[in-house]
Amino acid sequence: MFAYGIFKVIYAPREAFKEIAQNPKYFGPILVMILFVIANIGSAYILATKTYVEATMPSPSPSTGQRDVWTENKTFWRPLYGAYCDENFTDYISGSYYGNRSIEFRIENNDKIAMELRGVGEVNCSTEGGYTMLYLRVKWTSPNDRPKNVSLYLYSDDSTGFYRNITDKFYNASVNVWNNLTIHLADENWHGHASWENITVLKLEFTWNQTSSIRVLIDGLFFGGVYKPYLESTSTYIASYAAYSFTQFFLRWFLLGGLIYFLTKAFKAKTVWRVTLVLAGFALITMFVQAVISTATFSALPTLKYPLEFMGGVKGEAEAAYNKILDETWLINQVYSVIQMCMLVWTVALCAIAIRLTAEFSWSTSFLTAFIAYFIALFIEGLFMQF
């Protein structure tokens, strides 16, 4: 009977509200809430299956969650050719994946500087499921001209490795500016013999045309290029979203019912709390309908890939990456916006019918009361859900 009343609100709201008002039971709105939570979980699950997040190496630190640990601790690095190494706390990349320092290398009266990254474990960079990209931030403050040559080496042990000239990455680079490098791995630009499945050491070498004081900073070094389903990155996604959906419906239900009750009482209507609250809960059947339609809409989404630029949170890069995702989902976002607007109007209309039935207001007063109550409820709900 309650299930019948729930769905009757969709196609015959006036008759359904009359029957509900005569025998108001909380079981009906609770059932609506359960249906909404289930449908909303389905919608979130479909969206999650379309979402892939770029996995990076190093992995987050178990204690701090910090990701760029290789450029936070100088003990990972070995400076070469007599250079010195230190941690720089004033000049570094700022973002959610990055810490509060970079690694600084300096040498006097030389035309080259080199550094090795060790203690990284075994990194799989093969084309069969391995990391296919290397991301690196480089900055030099002296000398003033660009380096004549920059070489990158990757070793699978101390004697065998791969070599690549990356000088072209610095053609448009400038002194005293952080340069963001993206380097493809395991392609035809690499030379040498080693195992891409077992990279253990990284070496960088910079050469200039003349002898001078050299100062180079390194930050944000990641292996990447592997995209994993979002569901694999969090084991609590479904449970968290279920809790969020329950809280959202519960808040909106009681806020809407309470506001309608007090607004109608302010106009001297003889409304009853239980009846008002139950009718408000049934009116929120629109939330269930919206969740069902959203599930179908999200199934039409393309595969969404969230790259390091977005996840890393560096100002400017994150916005650009997000705008690209918005461009890919523009049509679906427009459809979703139309659905939200239609559900909003429908909910206000259902509340207006319930108010006219119980408070015996005019249609104009009923719609105005419903409009005010619903939008205040949404506003307060939004404040609560931020915490």
- Tens of pLDDT, residues 105-164: 999 999 999 999 988 888 999 888 899 999 999 999 999 999 999 999 999 876 678 999
Last residue of a domain, one of 211, 229, 247: 229
- Same domain? For 17 and 29 the reply is yes
- Same domain? For 113 and 40 the reply is no
pLDDT digits (tens, 9 = 90+) for 338-372: 999 999 999 999 999 999 999 989 999 999 999 99
- Same domain? For 213 and 72 the reply is yes
> What is the torsional sign of CA 121, 127, 131, 136?
positive
Mean pLDDT of 167-196: 90
- Same domain? For 281 and 360 the reply is yes
- Same domain? For 137 and 272 the reply is no
> SS3 string of the chain?
CHHHHHHHHHHCHHHHHHHHHHCCCCHHHHHHHHHHHHHHHHHHHHHHHCEEEEEEECCCCCCCCCCCHHHCCHHHEEEECCCEEEEECCCCCCCCCCCCCEEEEEEEEEEEEEEEECCCCCECCCCCCCCCEEEEEEEEEECCCCCCEEEEEEECCCCCEEEEECHHHHCCCCCCCCEEEEEECCCCCCEECCCCCCECEEEEEEEEEEEEEEEEEEEEEEEEEEEEEHHHHCCCHHHHHHHHHHHHHHHHHHHHHHHHHHHHHHCCCCCCHHHHHHHHHHHCHHHHHHHHHHHHHHCCCCCEEECHHHHHCCCCHHHHHHHHHHHHCHHHHHHHHHHHHHHHHHHHHHHHHHHHHHHCCCHHHHHHHHHHHHHHHHHHHHHHHCC
Q: Check pLDDT > 50 for residue 1.
A: no
Last residue of a domain, one of 179, 195, 229: 229
Q: Which CATH number goes with the domain that contains 131?
A: 2.60.120.260
Last residue of a domain, one of 203, 229, 255: 229
Q: How far apart are CA 190 and CA 153, in angstroms?
A: 9
- Same domain? For 75 and 208 the reply is yes
pTM of the predicted structure, to 2 decimals: 0.80
Question: What pLDDT score was predicted for residue 233?
Answer: 66
Beta-carbon count within 10 A of 75 CB: 9
pLDDT digits (tens, 9 = 90+) for 23-41: 899 999 999 999 999 999 9
Q: How far apart are CA 111 and CA 349, in angstroms?
A: 77
Question: What pLDDT score was predicted for residue 206?
Answer: 96
- Same domain? For 149 and 44 the reply is no
Helix axes 330-359, 317-328, angle to 10 degrees: 80
pLDDT digits (tens, 9 = 90+) for 202-241: 999 999 999 999 999 999 999 999 999 888 766 688 888 8
User: How many independent structural domains does the chain possess?
Assistant: 2
Strand partners, 134: 183, 223
Question: What pLDDT score was predicted for residue 66?
Answer: 65
- Same domain? For 262 and 367 the reply is yes
Percent of the chain topping pLDDT 70:
96
- Same domain? For 156 and 293 the reply is no
Is residue 9 within 8 A of residue 285, CB to CB? The reply is yes
Mean pLDDT of 47-61: 86
- Domain membership of residue 10 as a residue range: 2-53+234-385
- Same domain? For 6 and 110 the reply is no
- Same domain? For 137 and 25 the reply is no
- Same domain? For 148 and 269 the reply is no
Band (pLDDT 50/70/90 cuts) for residue 277 is: very high
> What is the torsional sign of CA 267, 273, 279, 283?
positive
